[in-house]
Structure 1
């Protein structure tokens, strides 16, 4: 396992990060702890969660994931674990979370961080991330920016001042973003520099063989602002394993109706089949090839992997041993040119 510096922080994170969004829904606490133990054994030191997990989000399970991790974390050497969690951003959908008021304002942030710390049974969070922006942006497969959807939002400066106080209080060490845009990254970075406030160190956005849109604008933005990408959904919600090429496959897309809508797109099946063909041509697991591709990108600091079974987790972690040859990468690019970004 290799380790990379996270932005301009002093954190050295493993190139694979353990995602935990299934804990409390598809995974029991015993299964969660087994996965956590195995990940640490394999050299992963980076764990990602969120206050709204598990998914699909619902009132009766909200917070279970953090609680499962907390029960495990108290038995670990805390300073050897880099723990990331997320505060839900502006939304009208999660009405049961903090009474539906999800503004990134002082009252909400203070409650969210205190609740997460309590569930996680820790005094501090290494990386605290805004799960999605407080302001309106197109999210989760929405294709266009719709000015009629713009809403009142907490100013960037005010948000940074709130998180600066949490850093001074020792509750968080570093700030990150998620599902953000080039505009958002630039504003957070410029204002932080101008006002001498804590700078964001990372962005957690989707990136995979079927969604390479990060290349277009965010790669340049993050390069020159020294913001690390934590790539989520590197398997495209499991589609890149090839399992959904079979009817009635087991997995979240089929288990939870409507949950994978952003992956119900034209040319996805054709693209996945083509990538599976490339993997088979070179005697690679489709999942491991997909993960190795993401890990090979110069702007990816850590690739977030998740699994519902220990066997899946082992396969995903073993992808860290695979280096894709130039020939394989050329074959991958040939597929991309035929089916560019079917799930942006």
Structure 2
């Protein structure tokens, strides 16, 4: 498994990362252990989770995924073998994340409480990569490059980025976190963080975890250049568009046990009017070249110069094995030409 530098740090992470957001909801603890053991055996050293997980987030299960990972590391005695990433929620109206029932914000009190709880659940005294799950400020399209700008009005109680960075520096100094990352962030937000840290406020962000797939290549607009020039590498999520790119949801199908069959409207962003024709076009490319469409889609994302790692999310072991094998898949010039032709025709139907 290829290893890549995480931003400007000395950490080297696998080009594929094990996602965990289904553990404790769709997946049992035993199934999570099986995925973790297999992933490490295949050379993956990078695990991504969040205080919010599993999804869909709810009070009864919030934090359960981190607990499972913590138990696994304790049982295996392998904390030093993994690079562990988790996240703190941004602005939210949910009241179950904080002990006092307040709405989460990226203030000192909220971040300190969040990281201490994550450390306890993960049974570790440090987090390698602590990510801001989404901004404190109001943003359009969940922080990604929008196709249609929604003109969100700034909140009166918006937490300044400099304040958030100062708290993160305290956590770095205390040894609770090693590095800082962003998630669901915009070009403006990413540059605001890098400018502030370069001016001496807080740690420098080393990564950005945003959606990026054949059905959503909006990251290539502005953010790709930032990722390259500022060494804030992409940790790509939803690179299979929550399974839509495999074609399993075509013609209204809802396979038993599939996430979007269990949780109604969970993946509505991937059921736009343009999603199905674009998916069929990518399926035809895979068929023409005689390759697995999931592996082709993942390998495309992994092969981008701005990508540090691709986060894999699978509920079944056969899915995970197929996905991990994508690191051996080579995107040929002919294949990339065909992919780009479809992209020019269909654009980004699922931003």
Is the TM-score greater than 0.5? yes
- Post-superposition offset of 1:255: 1.3
**Alignment partner of 1:217 is 2:222:** yes
Distance in 2, Cα, partners of 1:63 & 1:339? 38
Distance in 2, Cα, partners of 1:244 & 1:103? 36
- Post-superposition offset of 1:115: 0.5
Distance in 2, Cα, partners of 1:223 & 1:96? 37
CA contact (8 A) 1:21 1:49 kept: yes
Distance in 2, Cα, partners of 1:285 & 1:106? 46
Distance in 2, Cα, partners of 1:102 & 1:58? 14
What are the Cα deviations for residues 262-287 of structure 1, in whole angstroms up to 9, with x where unaligned? 11212100000110110011111111
Query: Any idea what SS the aligned residue of 2:199 has?
Result: helix
Distance in 1, Cα, partners of 2:263 & 2:3? 35
Query: Any idea what SS the aligned residue of 2:84 has?
Result: strand
Runs of 4+ in 1 over 6 A off after TM superposition: none
**Any residues of structure 2 matched to 1:156-235 within 5 Å, and which?**
156-195=161-200, 197-235=202-240
- Post-superposition offset of 1:220: 1.2
Please name the residue that 1:326 is paired with: 333
Please name the residue that 2:342 is paired with: 335
Please name the residue that 1:125 is paired with: 127
Q: Report the aligned-residue RMSD.
A: 1.3
CA contact (8 A) 1:135 1:151 kept: no
Please name the residue that 2:103 is paired with: 101
What are the Cα deviations for residues 151-200 of structure 1, in whole angstroms up to 9, with x where unaligned? 42111111111000000000000000000011111111111111253100
- Post-superposition offset of 1:100: 4.0
Query: Any idea what SS the aligned residue of 1:243 has?
Result: coil
Distance in 2, Cα, partners of 1:40 & 1:222? 27
Please name the residue that 1:12 is paired with: 12
Distance in 2, Cα, partners of 1:73 & 1:40? 12
Please name the residue that 1:110 is paired with: 112
Please name the residue that 2:89 is paired with: 88
Distance in 1, Cα, partners of 2:141 & 2:10? 31
- Post-superposition offset of 1:322: 0.4
Please name the residue that 1:301 is paired with: 308
Which runs of 5 or more structure 1 residues have no equivalent in the other structure? none
CA contact (8 A) 1:156 1:187 kept: yes
Compute the TM-score of the two structures, normalised by the length of structure 1: 0.97
Please name the residue that 2:255 is paired with: 249
Please name the residue that 1:136 is paired with: 138
